[in-house]
Amino acid sequence: MLPLALRKRHHWKVVRLLVLNDVLAILLATTVAVAAVNPAEPVPPLGWVLVTLFFTLVLFAIQRLYERDRRNISVSTLDEVRDILTSLGLVGFATFSLALGFDAGGILPPHPLSVVFFWLAGIVLIPCGRAALRHRVIPFSTDSQRTLVVGAGRVGQAIVRKIRKNPQYNVEVIGFLDDDPAVLDPDVADVPVLGAEKDLVETIVGQNISRVVLAFSRSTHEDVLEVVRNAGLRDVHISIVPRYFDIIAANVGIADVEGISVLELPVAGLSRLARATKRGFDLVITVPSLILLSPLLLAIAAAIKLETRGPALFRQARTGRGDEQFEILKFRTMVVGAEQMRDDLLGENESRGPLFKIRDDPRVTRVGLMLRRTSLDELPQLLNVLRGQMSLVGPRPFVTYEDDKIDGWARRRLDITPGMTGLWQVLGRNDIDYDEMVKLDYLYVTNWSLWWDTKLLLRTVPVVFKRRGY
């Protein structure tokens, strides 16, 4: 077992990196704030800088922004943005109050607008620096979390696959424990089954395990926790996959009933106020986007017309909210008559369920291939969003003949307006099969929030550039 002192040293190394990032970002933000107001004197007052640094770091510590990398199996920088916004807002208020209360001009911002520019610069620089650290520095400069998965069934194997797709988690799966392990799928077959569940403590000690994931093991969670506690294993973190993981999002509510934690699952669908809020959010982003992107849209349309005959736009019947049909708009990426050729290619379908997907589709044109790889073919759907037929974020709208094959609880995905992007896009696009896609859609419908839409839009950008799931 790694000595406790060594584990703490690893944790503090991560903390030091995060603090260093925040300090540099705050220094740069204060410089930008002063330079934006008075370019002739871009050097911020030392007193203001020191007070801003002190208050910001203290508030970040109170918000536990330096604890999450040790406590959680995965940390999303986007999930920290709200806490960063709150802290920076309080810092601006505190510097004004302190300066006015003590009449200390040396710590007063040089201009009221300096606080505004500091806030704007900080909400960009701090999260971007933290994201870069977690993706590019921490995984290569610190020890990974040596992780043991208890339960080698479907859920345990799915957890391993998802961990491996995200190296920024800095998690290394050492093996499984299971009393009666199932046959492992080929993509996780290299992960060994290290023993039965009764071997938990011995395996933790022998394999230097720092985190245990309970993924539907046969032992109760209470039994496993009791074993770890009784063995005196300090600083071994426990992550539990809840039984209803298919319908639980990160923003699910937790209530306390006389010491018993109860998960509060919201009902599917949106209230009138929520729908109006979501619609307003769509319009605020869509209208300026269409104006700014109009030259690019015209250039793409011209490229399509120059390569092949036929319309630049492709129209197809899709099923939207409440089973209403609409025509989705895309840039045409295939030869004219591609829909009529579909029946001849059914034998090459690579998707399970009612969806039709071929990775190397022979009907795709050269311009179309480029558009698909960059997702530029989806841009005309901004017009669908403008018309109210689609939303920026939501479940994927299926083709009508695919939608006709969907029944049961999966149809609850139609309780909300379909979107240009969503969980399926962010988590893998074409790498995700039909069963998981409808689960993700249901998860989105039952856990919607405006902040979740914002995060999914932001996370879509790097996914597109990485061509993940193409």
**Per-residue pLDDT reduced to its tens digit, 372-385:** 888 899 999 999 99
Tokens describing residue 87: 């802290």
- Looking at per-residue confidence, does 63 or 249 come out higher? 63
Helices 272-307 and 366-374: crossing angle in degrees, nearest 10, is 150
Task: Determine which helix (DSSP H) or strand (DSSP E) holds 149, and give its type and residue range.
Answer: strand 145-150
Unique residue bearing structure tokens 């989705």: 328
The helix, strand and coil proportions of the chain, stated in percent and rounded to the nearest 5, come to 60, 10, 30
pLDDT score of 243: 66
pLDDT score of 56: 94
Q: How far apart are CA 353 and CA 399, in angstroms?
A: 13
Q: How far apart are CA 171 and CA 453, in angstroms?
A: 27
Nearest 5°: the CA angle 102, 103, 109 is 105
pLDDT score of 460: 86
**Nearest Cα to 422, choosing from 436, 409, 408?**
436
- List, in sequence order, every residue forming a beta bridge with 253; answer none if it has no partner: 264
CB 209 within 8 A of CB 234: no
Section 220-244 average pLDDT: 69
**Lowest mean pLDDT, pick from 55-59, 342-346, 372-376:** 342-346
Is a pLDDT exceeding 70 seen at residue 18?
Answer: yes
CA 102 to each of CA 94, 95, 115, 192, 235: distance values in angstroms, whole numbers, following the listed order: 12, 11, 19, 64, 44
CB 170 within 8 A of CB 163: no
Question: What pTM did the predictor assign?
Answer: 0.72
Spatial neighbors of 385 by CB under 8 A, at least 6 apart, are: 282, 286, 391, 392, 420
pLDDT band at 351; cut points 50, 70, 90: low
Residue 164's φ and ψ, nearest 5 degrees, are: -70, -25
pLDDT score of 98: 66
Q: How far apart are CA 316 and CA 173, in angstroms?
A: 44
Domains of the chain: 4-141 (no CATH), 145-241 (3.40.50.20), 272-466 (no CATH)
- Looking at per-residue confidence, does 320 or 99 come out higher? 320
- Looking at per-residue confidence, does 321 or 410 come out higher? 321
Is a pLDDT exceeding 50 seen at residue 57?
Answer: yes
pLDDT score of 92: 82
Tokens describing residue 122: 């900080």
Q: What's 322's DSSP letter?
A: G
Unique residue bearing structure tokens 């990196």: 17
pLDDT score of 455: 87
Tokens describing residue 245: 């993981």
pLDDT score of 382: 96
337: left (phi over 0), alpha (psi -120 to 50) or beta: left
For 279-289, what is each residue's pLDDT tens digit? 999 999 999 99
- Looking at per-residue confidence, does 243 or 424 come out higher? 424
**Lowest mean pLDDT, pick from 279-293, 315-329, 383-397, 439-453:** 439-453
Q: How far apart are CA 272 and CA 276, in angstroms?
A: 6
Task: Determine which helix (DSSP H) or strand (DSSP E) holds 260, and give its type and residue range.
Answer: strand 260-264
- Output the average pLDDT for the chain: 82
- Looking at per-residue confidence, does 361 or 81 come out higher? 81
pLDDT score of 2: 47
pLDDT score of 348: 62
Tokens describing residue 5: 């002192």
Tokens describing residue 363: 């009907």
Residue 166's φ and ψ, nearest 5 degrees, are: -130, 80
pLDDT score of 353: 57
- Looking at per-residue confidence, does 407 or 420 come out higher? 420
Tokens describing residue 436: 């998981």
pLDDT score of 423: 82
Q: How far apart are CA 99 and CA 104, in angstroms?
A: 5
- Looking at per-residue confidence, does 129 or 95 come out higher? 129
